[in-house]
Amino acid sequence: MTFTVSTSEQMQAFGKQIGALLTAGDVVVLSGPLGAGKTTFVQGLATQIEVQGIVTSPTFVVSRVHKPQGSGLALVHVDAYRLTCQSDLVDLDLDATKNAVFVIEWGKEYVSGFSENWIEIDIDRAQEVTDESDPASGIRRISVTAVGERWSDLSLSGPVA
């Protein structure tokens, strides 16, 4: 499935759409260049599943856990950019976080050792920033790939803000 978005609101709306599908243990893998909108997507997802705290990129801490606001799901947000091998992801002991969903940026190379099922989202900057007041503006091409039995019937309508 392929979609396009042109604003941060549309990217967050797409994150909310994916967030509405997630249950405990689900994994989303994000790929895309710096500034593509990965964190903006995760902010929308986090809003949908209602977690505590402000979602920012975990680049310097590698992994950040956002607790649920109530009895819902936690969000484990990982930036695998600085990982060097699959065992580095396993060493983070992410599966110790119960009742959580996992979003792994730059994790395409490592996710198969972590889960048998995931949603893979590739974000490509098809056009640079078009609105200086919205750094996430500009056309983004989003490709979604469902991996594993859990996501065999995944159907999306695309982002709508």
- Does residue 158 sit within a domain? no
Count the domains in the chain: 1
**pLDDT at position 59 over 90:** no
**Residue 38 CA from chain centroid, whole number:** 6
> Mean pLDDT across the stretch 130-144?
75
> Mean pLDDT across the stretch 122-126?
88
- Does residue 161 sit within a domain? no
State the pLDDT confidence band at 126, using cuts at 50, 70 and 90. Answer: confident
pLDDT value at residue 15: 95
| Distance of alpha carbon 49 from alpha carbon 88, whole angstroms | 27
Tell me the per-residue pLDDT of 65-93, one tens digit each, with 9 for 90 and over: 889 998 899 998 888 776 666 655 555 55
- Does residue 160 sit within a domain? no
Q: What is the domain extent for residue 81?
A: 2-151
**pLDDT at position 155 over 90:** no
Q: Which residues contact 123 (CB under 8 A, 6 or more apart)?
A: 30, 31, 32, 36, 37, 38, 41, 140, 141, 142
Tell me the per-residue pLDDT of 15-48, one tens digit each, with 9 for 90 and over: 999 999 999 999 999 999 888 899 999 999 999 9
